[in-house]
């Protein structure tokens, strides 16, 4: 899921009208909570498995694999969070640019009349 979202974020062009810019920003903000919830659930589940496996020496390899997964997962989560913040900033900038262009258009229209 994170790979799909990352791909979509990178290929998505910035909107040129205010309504679309605001909708894309709202969607982007909503997606953050979805990914954060999935990440928290996965991390909690892995920690639970590690806790239950801690009593058995026979599963030490599995514990190491789970710990490695958690470390890689945290790294991917940090990468995704950085990309998400960068895209959020670009969307906010796009909203401000659309608002500015709309204001200029309004002023020019008033000058003409």
- Of 12-16, 17-21, 103-107, least confident by mean pLDDT is 12-16
pLDDT class of 110 with cuts at 50, 70, 90: confident
| 67 pLDDT higher than 70 | yes
What are the b/e assignments for 69-85, b being 16+ CB within 10 Å? eeeeeeeebeebeeebe
Alpha helices, H only, the chain: 2-11, 18-53, 60-112
Query: Tens of pLDDT along 74-94?
Result: 888 888 888 888 888 988 998
Residue-level pLDDT at 5: 66
Query: Tens of pLDDT along 38-61?
Result: 888 888 888 777 777 766 665 566
Residue-level pLDDT at 33: 83
């Amino acid at each position: 899921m994170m790979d799909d979202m990352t791909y979509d974020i990178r290929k998505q062009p910035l909107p040129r009208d205010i309504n679309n810019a605001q909708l894309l920003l709202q969607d982007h903000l909503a997606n953050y909570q979805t990914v954060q919830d999935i990440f928290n659930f996965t991390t909690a589940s892995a920690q639970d498995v590690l806790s239950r496996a801690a009593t058995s020496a026979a599963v030490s390899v599995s514990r190491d694999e789970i710990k490695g997964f958690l470390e890689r997962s945290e790294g991917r989560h940090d990468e995704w969070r950085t990309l998400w913040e960068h895209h959020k900033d670009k969307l906010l900038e796009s909203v401000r640019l659309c608002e500015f262009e709309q204001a200029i258009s309004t002023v020019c229209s008033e000058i003409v009349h």
